[in-house]
């Protein structure tokens, strides 16, 4: 009968298990740190891409806002000139009336570059920007631009009302010759000699009804109030906020 000897494995010390635990913990922890760093790098890369696109959009917006300021300033001056013209005791030439009417109804709508801004806000990706001051400024800028859009809608509504009165006052066949005049030329200080010759014409109106004329001028005054608010308050405020955001974007993400 054979006798089988049982071999006994030496029991591991508790320090061995502790060391295994520490090694496992370190492995998991280092993996966590590596993954966290990788995510941070990915998010920073995305943030920089958004920052670059937003910087380009804000540059475009600033140009468009400054253009709107010039156009609204010119339009307000045309409305004032038209009001002064109709109050002249000695009367006025129809050519002057047609000239001011041509530009008093103009409206420049800002072509916003808000694709990046809208994406940041609607998708929640604004979280990629870790600078709280930057996030706050972007939110303020978005509020200001939405206010400008609301004002533009109000101006357009009142402007449409003014045009309905205008069309009953002026003759279409005579208004047509003033259509060659471009507000952009005037806004940029380019004066055409054609303007003087057109203004000197003694042109008849379709209607001289005082009530109709008063309704037209009142509607224009309605647009003037909002135009001045747009030009003197919200456009400058949008430009200031855009400049502050662009400065922070360049500093935060090393952009030019």
30: in domain: yes
> Among candidates 6, 173, 37, 151, which has minimal Cα distance to 98?
173
114: in domain: yes
1: in domain: no
Residues 6+ apart with CB under 8 A from 254: none
The larger pLDDT score, comparing residue 39 to residue 158, is at 158
41: in domain: yes
Tens digit of pLDDT for each residue in 57-104?
999 999 999 999 999 999 999 999 999 999 988 888 899 999 999 999
Domain extent for 37: 14-253
Do the beta carbons of residue 158 and residue 226 sit within 8 Å? Answer: yes
pTM above 0.85, yes or no: no
> Among candidates 148, 146, 132, 119, which has minimal Cα distance to 50?
119
92: in domain: yes
Residue recorded with tokens 């809208």: 118
Q: In whole angstroms, give the CA distance from residue 56 to residue 129.
A: 17
3: in domain: no
Assigned token pair, 118: 């809208």
7: in domain: no
Domain count of the fold of the chain: 1
> Among candidates 143, 148, 90, 156, which has minimal Cα distance to 117?
143
Residues 6+ apart with CB under 8 A from 192: 181, 185
- At residue 1 the predicted structure's pLDDT band, cuts being 50, 70 and 90, is very low
79: in domain: yes
pLDDT at 241 over 80: yes
Do the beta carbons of residue 70 and residue 187 sit within 8 Å? Answer: yes
């Amino acid at each position: 009968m054979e006798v089988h000897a049982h071999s006994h494995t030496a029991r591991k010390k508790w320090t061995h298990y502790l060391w295994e635990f520490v090694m496992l913990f370190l492995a998991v922890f280092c993996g966590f740190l590596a993954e966290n760093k990788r995510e941070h790098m990915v998010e920073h890369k995305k943030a920089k891409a958004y920052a670059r696109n937003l910087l380009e959009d804000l540059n475009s917006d600033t140009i468009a806002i400054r253009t709107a300021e010039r156009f609204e300033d010119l339009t307000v001056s045309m409305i004032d000139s038209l009001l002064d013209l109709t109050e002249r005791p000695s009367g006025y030439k129809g050519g002057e009336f047609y000239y001011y009417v041509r530009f008093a109804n103009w409206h420049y709508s800002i072509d916003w570059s808000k694709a990046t801004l809208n994406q940041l806000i609607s998708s929640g990706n604004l979280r990629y920007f870790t600078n709280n001051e930057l996030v706050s400024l972007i939110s303020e800028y978005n509020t200001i631009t939405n206010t400008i859009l609301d004002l533009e809608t109000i101006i357009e509504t009142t402007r449409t009302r003014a045009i309905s009165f205008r069309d009953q006052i002026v003759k279409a066949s005579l208004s047509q010759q003033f259509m060659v005049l471009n507000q952009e030329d005037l806004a940029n200080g380019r004066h055409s000699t054609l303007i003087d010759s057109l203004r000197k014409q003694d042109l008849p109106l379709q209607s001289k009804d005082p009530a109709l004329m008063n309704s037209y001028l009142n509607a224009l005054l309605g647009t003037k109030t909002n135009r001045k608010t747009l030009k003197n308050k919200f456009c400058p405020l949008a430009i200031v906020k855009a400049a502050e955001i662009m400065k922070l974007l360049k500093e935060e993400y090393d952009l030019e």
